[in-house]
Structure 1
Amino acid sequence: MQDNNETRVSGAANNPDKQEIMAAGSGMPRVEEAHFHQFPGARPPDRQRSVNSGGLALAVYEWGDADAPPLLLVHGALDFARTFDVFAPLLADAGYRVVSYDHRGHGDSEHAALYSWTADERDMLAVADSISRPPFIAIGHSKGGSMLAHSIQALPHRFSRFVAIDGLPFRSPHSDATLRERKSMTADVITGWLDHRRATGSLARKPGSLEELAQRRARMNPRLSHEWLCYLASQGARQDVDGWRWKIDPALRPGGFGTHRSRWMTDRLPGFPIPMLALFGTVREPMGWDVKPADLMPYFAPSTQVEVVQDTGHFIHIERPQQTAALVCDFLKT
């Protein structure tokens, strides 16, 4: 992949009714069921390109007019940019150039030898550099929101407004640095991480049908419909000779390792430098931060707008895309 190599996403290769794939073990092409590649309101990106981040190629996607005001969407851990296929077009239709990308090791971005929060933030800023030098809007879901919050606190001149979709982490109750280190850098935590790294050289994700991949994903996303999860699998998996596999690097796993602390963000929230919209759901989920608005209200700056979307889980923008887009657009107009 070449730096800033842009392609138009169109044609039979992206038409689910015309996609041909090889039947596993048969050597003969078969037409994949169209319903796996379609979902009401989902729209593929208008453009696709790549950005070079320290020698690693990141897949970048865009919806909307290329001359419209830019808006960066950052996905969460173990996700990819095409999870925004319903939400992003709503923002594009509202008049924005919506840009998202696959994190390293996710989707169609290249895999890396090692992964870290700092590397993820460098990648995000490389994509930001490719979008606009003047400040622009940024929206992050889950880990993507936390990455943006941390980056905006360090580089407030790069962004104009920020939306966190269940994207702010919990605040550790341990004020003493030694206690924090003891909690997250214990011998068993370090041993587990090293054992996992040692095994990744021979790891491969378990193959299956798109339906099976959707069923596995449902364990982490129990509130999302099976139809959506099947669509998600069709966009985030590849087909090998023995079945479909998620593209996510098997070296990645939930949970952090290293020196990053959520407290470093939350302690600085009172002085957050730009207007923020913080969206929260109400239902606890496996992939969520498990943070309630009341936990962070004492730390929010006066310019922060807080909205609670009732009867939603961690993936607010997927459960309620129109409502989420309306809240975002109203915030951006104020």
Structure 2
Amino acid sequence: MDSITRHAASQPQHFIAPDGLSLAVERCGAAAAPVLLFAHGFGQTRQAWRGATHKLAAAGWQCVSFDARGHGDSERVADGRYHLAQFIEDLRALASAQPSPPVLIGASMGGLLGIAVAGDAQRPAPFSALALVDITPRWEAAGVARILDFMRAYPQGFADYDAAAVAVAAYLPQRGGRKGEERLRALLRRGADGRLRWHWDPALLDVVENEG
């Protein structure tokens, strides 16, 4: 039984993970079309795929993207303890809930989770193919350290979107220019103190440090 609750097109759907956590899911394209399932990278959200999903939906695919636990609009773990196995089971369950085995497109962390699911010798993968974006089975430790350093760098958050844009542009100078406020809104949330912080649970960093 599909555990996705239907909502208006402008609202995310909600998928209940095996341990009861609610994950935000977005679907576009014809319901009868073959499914592409998109898994984002660490510290990102489903919004990272929006340009691709809209174009591919227009080309005849049904596109499903989601926020991993602790990211974006998905629930955060109450005790702050995240484990890699939970992310793997979330992906397996969501892929299994689709009307037909999807093609999984995984970026960075999403690709690693796909590799883990596909590499399980005890259970067949619930997707028909796996496409990796910006990830390989092996990666350079220095690159991972640079990403984590940036993610830890602003615990106090940002006063406004301009300040966040400056930080991102300094981290990714090769992208050229600053991210616009609209794109940053998908990555940041405003706290009770009025400051903007990344749209993911800081406790997620413990997963990389302890299990990465």
Cα offsets for 1:51-107 (capped at 9, x unmatched): 111121110111212221111000011111001121211211221111111111110
CA distance in 2, matches of 1:107, 1:90: 22
How far 1:258 moved relative to its partner?
4.1
1:170 to 104, 116, 138: 138
How far 1:171 moved relative to its partner?
6.5
Cα offsets for 1:264-307 (capped at 9, x unmatched): xxxxxxxxxxxxxxxxxxxxxxxxxxxxxxxxxxxxxxxxxxxx
Matches within 5 A, 1:26-105: 48-53=12-17, 54-105=19-70
| Contact map agreement 1:137 1:159 (CA 8 A) in 2 | yes
Larger radius of gyration: 1
1:246 to 187, 198, 206: 198
How far 1:255 moved relative to its partner?
7.4
| Contact map agreement 2:36 2:102 (CA 8 A) in 1 | yes
Which residue type is aligned with residue 38 of structure 2? Answer: L
| Contact map agreement 2:168 2:179 (CA 8 A) in 1 | no
Q: Identity over aligned residues, as a percent?
A: 28
Distance 1:157 1:127, change over 3 A: closer
How far 1:118 moved relative to its partner?
1.1
RMSD: 2.6
Matches within 5 A, 1:1-334: 4-10=4-10, 48-53=12-17, 54-112=19-77, 113-132=80-99, 134-154=100-120, 155-170=123-138, 206-228=157-179, 230-240=181-191, 242-253=194-205, 256-258=208-210
| Contact map agreement 1:60 1:100 (CA 8 A) in 2 | yes
| Contact map agreement 1:52 1:126 (CA 8 A) in 2 | no
How far 1:221 moved relative to its partner?
3.2
CA distance in 2, matches of 1:147, 1:123: 10
Cα offsets for 1:122-150 (capped at 9, x unmatched): 11122213323x42211111111111012
CA distance in 2, matches of 1:65, 1:227: 34
CA distance in 2, matches of 1:77, 1:171: 14
Distance 1:125 1:157, change over 3 A: closer
Runs of 4+ in structure 1 deviating by more than 6 angstroms, as ranges, are none
| Contact map agreement 1:208 1:245 (CA 8 A) in 2 | no
Distance 1:205 1:121, change over 3 A: farther
Aligned residues: 191
Q: Which residue of 1 aligns with 2:144?
A: none
Which residue type is aligned with residue 215 of structure 1? Answer: V
Tell me the SS of whatever aligns to 1:71. strand
Tell me the SS of whatever aligns to 1:86. helix
How far 1:223 moved relative to its partner?
2.7
User: What are the ranges of 5 or more consecutive residues in structure 1 without an aligned counterpart?
Assistant: 11-46, 173-202, 261-334
Cα offsets for 1:32-68 (capped at 9, x unmatched): xxxxxxxxxxxxxxx6201111121110111212221
TM-score after normalising by structure 2: 0.78
TM-score after normalising by structure 1: 0.52
Tell me the SS of whatever aligns to 1:140. strand
CA distance in 2, matches of 1:225, 1:255: 31
| Contact map agreement 1:205 1:246 (CA 8 A) in 2 | no
